[in-house]
Amino acid sequence: MSGALKEVRNRIKSVQSTQQITKAMKMVSAAKLRRAQDAITQMRPYAHKLQEMLSNIVSNSDGDVNLALATERPVENVLIVIVTSDRGLCGGYNSNLIKLTRQLIFEKYREQHSRGHVSVLPIGKKGYEHFTKNGFKVVDKYWDIFTGLSFDKVQTAAKYAMEAFANKEVDKVELVFSEFKNAATQAFIAEQFLPVSKVQKKAGETNADFIFEPSKEVLISELMPKILNTQLFKAVLDGNASEHGARMTAMDKASDNANELLKSLKISYNRARQAAITTELTEIVSGAAALNG
């Protein structure tokens, strides 16, 4: 019985040790989440307004300007940019992003994939490891962006996608990321990055009226890459906040599960202890009875 007691006692120590780690990780993620949430909250209105402006300009150009990054053409080659995390232990965050990307590849772009015309540009180590291990065509230059995250680093990945599209190496660029809602909720999104989408005007709606200074050509050629850089940076910031929120929630649940397991183990330990005491008492009484007999 002492062996059983020792085994339960060791399990209790192990669970307590694990619980200390999960609580510490929750606190670290909570601190990082506050910073990441502030960053995306401040960035989002600016990025949305820029995107709205860009879509309106593209919609109202009517072919009078050469918009290389807004040109629709038959989709032969596809680039999918996926934003995952560098580390795990964040619940289903990475697996949901990878699942959505695979769904795009095997459903929406099945024909292109069958001809080997789908490439994946992972941002984040987890996405890079999965798609490399499973034999996909991977652009392996930008997966470590979260190591010292900055706008300049993200801009290099956006520039690669824009140059590939402008040079007709790819005909469509999709962006897969997690939009941060709150610590417990993320929305997993796949959206078109290139070509730049036009605004769908409702019936009776008039075109937005812009006054261009300098000329429309100069303004668009300068603005479009900058706005697209901002869009990708927003997606990366969304992903960064989503990761910390998902990890904080996962570690909170893990700590709660450890509490439940500890209760169960302590009950088992007490029962085993009582059984051991009862056995010892029985042996003592039996020994005393034998002596008296």
User: pLDDT band at residue 95, thresholds of 50, 70 and 90?
Assistant: very high
Own/partner contacts of 94-98, CB < 8 Å, gap of 24 or more, are 94/124, 94/126, 94/127, 94/130, 96/178, 96/188, 97/127, 97/176, 97/177, 97/178, 97/188, 98/126, 98/127, 98/130, 98/131
User: pLDDT band at residue 223, thresholds of 50, 70 and 90?
Assistant: confident
- pTM of the prediction? 0.85
- Any domain includes 292: no
Structural domains of the chain, count: 2
State the catalytic residue, choosing from 15, 36, 80, 90: 90
Q: Are residues 94 and 232 in the same domain?
A: yes
The domain of 182 spans 21-251
Where residue 82 sits, what CATH number does that domain have?
3.40.1380.10
- Any domain includes 288: no
pLDDT at 177 over 80: yes
Q: Are residues 129 and 263 in the same domain?
A: no
Q: Decide if 90 is catalytic.
A: yes
User: pLDDT band at residue 2, thresholds of 50, 70 and 90?
Assistant: low
- Any domain includes 293: no
260 or 222: which leads in pLDDT? 260
Q: Are residues 11 and 49 in the same domain?
A: no
pLDDT at 290 over 80: no
Q: Are residues 29 and 84 in the same domain?
A: yes
Q: Are residues 220 and 256 in the same domain?
A: no
Q: Are residues 177 and 38 in the same domain?
A: yes
What proportion of the chain, given as a percentage, has pLDDT over 90?
66
Query: For residue 233, what pLDDT is reported?
Result: 96
pLDDT at 136 over 70: yes
